[in-house]
Amino acid sequence: MRHHTGVRQAVHDDIAELVRLRALLFETLGGDFFNPPAADGGWRATLAAVLKEKLASDDARILVVDGDDGLAASGMGTVDQWFPGPHSYNGRVGHVIGMVTDPAYRRRGHGRATVAGLLDWFREREVARVDLHASHDGEPLYRAFGFVDHPDPALYWRP
């Protein structure tokens, strides 16, 4: 993977800061979908456990940018093996998840460098495509990298 200034792979000692940044992301996104009224803080401990597991996994990459005291930014990528088809020759689909920059460090290129690092990682894994859900603020950044509207409608179901 090419080196992107200031971007490094996350390590175990970053987990608490990764949880902080992910919580900040959900606060920024707001609404009942991302912050259901009945939610408690238990998801943070579960997230920490999943992060620990994913840091050692070949199907995930967690990139961070250091700030003066803690992390300035983070972004995660995963690769899933789906079923191949004419639209997805090998069925390998990447996902960009949890892109967030602490408000004190925004507008300095940290998000751009993190996305560039993730896209390099996806290329190395020969994914057929990369999907993401963009916030209103993040959409211009992703479009600058060549992301376009997905042809499938986005639907979800919760059991």
For the chain, state the CA radius of gyration.
16
Cβ-in-10-Å burial (0-12, 13-18, 19+) of 51 comes to: buried
Asked if residue 114 belongs to a domain, the reply is yes
As a whole-number percent, the residues of the chain with pLDDT over 90 amount to: 71
Express each pLDDT in 31-79 by its tens digit: 666 555 556 678 889 999 999 999 999 999 999 999 999 999 999 999 9
Asked if residue 51 belongs to a domain, the reply is yes
Query: What is the model's pTM?
Result: 0.89
Residue 125 is part of which domain span? 7-144
Asked if residue 111 belongs to a domain, the reply is yes
Express each pLDDT in 114-125 by its tens digit: 999 999 999 999
The residue with greater pLDDT, 118 or 2, is 118
Asked if residue 45 belongs to a domain, the reply is yes
Asked if residue 118 belongs to a domain, the reply is yes
Asked if residue 152 belongs to a domain, the reply is no
Asked if residue 70 belongs to a domain, the reply is yes
Number of domains in the chain: 1
CATH number of the domain encompassing residue 105: 3.40.630.30
73 close to 111: Cβ distance less than 8 angstroms? yes
Which helix (H) or strand (E) element contains residue 102?
none
